[in-house]
Structure 1
């Protein structure tokens, strides 16, 4: 019989690295499945930022081998009665609280099956009410990595019934898109909620954010002069406002949630 390859378990959290929380999460996965390969996708999601967590897993899971288990712990409702979910789709497995983290995968049609974790093996009374990631979600991920069937974990639920707190960019008329600042990365690049699937890139005229007008869609950062603002499509297919070798967010004075308007030329 062909030997099963060790499973990959990815971790996405808002824990940061200055405390031991990320390490404890890794340890809990390895305790349940010592053969797993644990990959820290990121522990730098801004605290309680479910939107960034949802976008991170939406844009990242496909770069891992099929069969990978993806754990996303950004859980402002930890200790409450919100369910913990285990899902499958696109050849991958996902474990996360039901707080909107999986909503973009639902919107994209990437989830086939979703189960609410209810099996006594994964709902111990000894679990810390402040660390469900370590005590509940990590053991679920370890069990899936070890080959336990998804159906063992609890009842199946309709993906359409999951919490859907992520508001996608919306189309307003033929020549205007309204979105918002989704996140600001380490370089000060401003990712928006506007995906290029919403418009034909050659029709891009300008983007407006906090009173600043950014014209023309570029392919690379270096197409603009050093320090100048520019718009481009980032590596995940989102409209990004950046500055060549400079911090665009500081120039724009923006933060997540600020409105972004894209104007298009007439078709």
Structure 2
């Protein structure tokens, strides 16, 4: 049985998601449809890339992922279908695929060319569904478009390293449901650039000199629970997706607040890591 996932910024109030699912079931009554999310911040390509990168790997090989974010066809925003890591993606060529393809090169990319026989202001419904169903039936990508070698790169997804390899300048790419601030700095990059050197993380007016491996790692569990005062403490952590995250322990957005609100940080704000060049007491190492 084929499996198709949906990732969109449609929300669930309107008819869009239901219409897309209905069109897929009309073509393939036995298909399995999974919602990754329909609550992407409207037109937020970076957020889409982060969520998709961390979700698609959990699905079986051969899964087909429809991505409907900023999907209106234009000269600058073509539609593509590609095979990557034994998965298929049907999406706009607006840069969202570049976070996934930064580590794994696509096997094949085609520019979808069925638009000349389909005029639509809702391409996810009228174009992406047809392409996904064609792939699910075992159809070749070459039938739906001409092969291309390049896709649009989203520059802001990639952090920058200075010439002396002492500073990584990254940025906020996602605020999660707990208000935690997630950067585009990966653990892999941190290790490759840092090479075990002492470091200091800067985020707004706050700094961190340690990166935890678990949210509760700093809690002293030998102290009775009623005497602990850890809720609301700030910490840096490499999250389950392998990206540097600034978090608030046991954050509650209605009472304690999340890292985003408490630190005054938002999408695209700067997070940087400075590595020691000369031994200095203000730097400490990652345990």
- Counterparts of 1:69-148 in structure 2, within 5 Å, are 69-75=64-70, 78-81=72-75, 82-119=77-114, 123-125=116-118, 127-129=119-121, 131-148=122-139
Q: Is 1:123–1:136's contact at 8 Å kept on the other side of the alignment?
A: no
- Which residue number in structure 1 is paired with residue 246 of structure 2? 241
Gaps of 5+ in 2: 219-229, 252-257, 279-287
Question: Which deviates more from structure 2 when the two are superposed, residues 134-143 or residues 205-214?
Answer: 205-214
**Normalization by structure 1: what TM-score?**
0.89
Shift of 1:79: 4.1
1:154 corresponds to 2:154: no
Distance 1:204 1:253, change over 3 A: farther
Question: Which deviates more from structure 2 when the two are superposed, residues 229-238 or residues 167-176?
Answer: 167-176
Shift of 1:266: 4.6
Q: Deviations over 1:76-96 (max 9, x none)?
A: x61424321010021111100
Q: Is 2:85–2:104's contact at 8 Å kept on the other side of the alignment?
A: no
Alpha-carbon separation, structure 2, partners of 1:204 and 1:229:
20
- Which residue number in structure 2 is paired with residue 3 of structure 1? none
Any runs of at least 4 consecutive aligned residues in structure 1 with deviations exceeding 6 A, and if so which?
A: none
Shift of 1:123: 4.8
Shift of 1:42: 0.9
- Counterparts of 1:144-223 in structure 2, within 5 Å, are 144-158=135-149, 161-167=150-156, 168-172=158-162, 173-200=164-191, 203=197, 205-223=199-217
Alpha-carbon separation, structure 2, partners of 1:254 and 1:46:
16
Q: Is 1:104–1:166's contact at 8 Å kept on the other side of the alignment?
A: no
Alpha-carbon separation, structure 1, partners of 2:6 and 2:79:
16
Gaps of 5+ in 1: 1-5
Helix, strand or coil for the counterpart of 2:61? Answer: coil
**Normalization by structure 2: what TM-score?**
0.83
Alpha-carbon separation, structure 2, partners of 1:264 and 1:251:
26
1:13 corresponds to 2:8: yes
Q: Deviations over 1:199-257 (max 9, x none)?
A: 22754633211111123101111134221110001111100000101211111111100
Q: Deviations over 1:144-182 (max 9, x none)?
A: 112211111111000xx2111243011123332100011
Q: Is 1:68–1:93's contact at 8 Å kept on the other side of the alignment?
A: yes
Alpha-carbon separation, structure 2, partners of 1:226 and 1:57:
30
Provide the aligned length of Structure 1 versus Structure 2: 255
- Which residue number in structure 1 is paired with residue 232 of structure 2? 227
Q: 2:262 aligns with which of 243, 251, 257?
A: 251
Alpha-carbon separation, structure 1, partners of 2:276 and 2:12:
45
Q: Is 2:83–2:108's contact at 8 Å kept on the other side of the alignment?
A: yes
Distance 1:123 1:52, change over 3 A: farther
